Chain A
Amino acid sequence: MPPIISVRGVTKTYASGFQALKPIDLDIRRGEIFALLGPNGAGKSTLINIICGLVRASSGTVLADGYDIVRDYRVARSLIGLVPQEMATEGYETVWATMKFSRGVHGRGRDPAYLEKVLRDLSLWDKKDSPILALSGGMKRRVMIAKALSHQPRILFLDEPTAGVDVELRRDLWAMVRSLRDSGVTIILTTHYIEEAEEMADRVGVINRGELILVEDKAALMRDLGTRQLILTLAAPLSGLPADLAGEPLHFADDGLSLVYTFDPKAEGEGVEGLIRRLIDAGVAFTDIRSRESSLEEIFVGLVRAPA
């Protein structure tokens, strides 16, 4: 089955000379949830905005369900819904008025029943006559999602959908995204949060400094990202690892004052508990134990520094 979004050789250099995107090739599969990860300024929003028609690509082509986003923009754009990163609403308008506008501007005829369903699904129905200005930040975020869904898009872009929202709303949004995917909508979301990608995505793409450096199934990527480190501060420096622990993923740090154990918490085996027992049995004394997980930033740095 052909991809629902096909990006080929897309680049973007802004008038200032800043190259936001180096040639990007990317296929989004039909019906998947694709998470585009990257630090601030990596090019995530530029790529999404090009696909949605908000930014003009310097070169390359984008097809949405086989339709060129420039040449066949009417069909292509009618298939796409966008929730941008920045909160942008018509504050003085009511939720209902802005929904009607969004549906109409995307070329759809009136369908109050559908709009009601969208608002009910997003717990906004009782706010339909409220001016958007009077809503809380979380409610406004819901309104933006409702607007993006108002014309029944087949492809939904969510640019940082959970940035700055509380835990409850984040969980609600995740549930909503899953239910949309179940109804056949393809979802592309950008996020800073590994947890979000882990929870939601079928596949993950990593973009950094305008380059798409990785596109992988979530399961495979999470295997790589899901490492943890247990750091033991030793009571006295060791000259070497006890023979009993040779072969374990252990290494010294801080001039031999720390022992670092890299492990996968989901892996089967004796894990942290077994390691500590064996260290005590081997007579290794330590004064502190702490654990840490790899941050997304560290993973990006690692990916960027890795030879091509």
Chain B
Amino acid sequence: MNVNALRAIYLFEMSRWFRTLVGSLLSPVISTSLYFVVFGSAIGSRMTAIDGVSYAAFIVPGLTMLSVLTESIGNASFGIYMPKWSGTIYELLSAPVAWWEAVIAYVGAAASKSVLLGGVILLTARLFVPYHIAHPFWMAAFLILTALTFCLFGFIIGVWAEGWERLQIVPTLIITPLTFLGGSFYSISMLPPLWRKITLFNPVVYLVSGFRWSFYGVSDVGVSLSLGMTLGFMAVCLVVIWWIFKTGYKLKP
């Protein structure tokens, strides 16, 4: 394994993030705080508890997931798209680096940022809501798995995108709606039966449900199913990335 290359890519990516740390952290923290103020305090105070959990506490896992998903895709897609766009990717492609080493380094850096951000958001939420975490291990596991999976997905988008506009299309048109409709702000048991069934095709439902279970021990779908779906999506992303490097898709003519 080319450990020096892994370290170089990882540190390079992290230093880019630290250089813009205030913007990278402040923006999601402010928007999440606004969600808590509006949905948690203002509207939430008029809503009844869901599964015995106050509404303000109920939305904590969903809101954290919302930020982690968005940031994971954004960080990872930008991380690989930027050298493609600037042309500096020649250096990576001509270096003695295996494809999986490049993926570990880029996705690892992007996921590190997302997990750190998730932690900061949870700390921020604590200022608004006295939530508790029933299964800390599983909370961390779901957080890390989700970050890794969606960073892999972001990596694919970054390779696929041929312009800044395309880079935004998938997160804006697909991921954000799926996240909002994935039970971040409600339990899917509150939906009419038909919509409940349709919602089960949304992979974000499983992520949010599993993550919420790790907090409060209650979930919309089984925890094993949540875990299985997350791992399944991760496997699909890995296969697509393996294919990208095998064929040189949009990287090597």
Contact = CB atoms under 8 A, between A and B. Distances in A.
Q: Secondary structure at chain B's binding surface: helix, strand, loop or mixed?
A: helix
B91 A147 contact: yes
Interface string B1-44: 01011011101100110010000000000000000000000000
Interface residues of A, number: 36
A61 interface: no
Interface string B60-84: 0000000000000000000000010
A105 B97 contact: yes
Contacts of B7: 104
B12 A77 contact: no
Contacts of B95: 77, 105-107
Contacts of B253: 14-15, 55-56
B94 A80 contact: yes
A79 B76 CA distance: 30
B195 interface: no
Interface residues of B, number: 27
B88 interface: yes
Nearest to A76: B96
Contacts of B116: none
Contacts of A97: 12, 15
B37 to A, nearest CB: 34
B7 to A, nearest CB: 6
Interface stretch (A84-92, A239-247, A266-274, A282-290): A84-92
Contacts of A105: 4-5, 8-9, 91-92, 95, 97
Nearest to B15: A97
B90 A84 contact: yes
A70 to B, nearest CB: 12
10 contacts: A52-B94, A56-B248, A75-B96, A80-B94, A82-B91, A86-B87, A93-B16, A97-B12, A106-B5, A107-B4
Interface of A: 14-15, 52-56, 73-78, 80, 82, 84, 86-93, 97, 100-109, 147
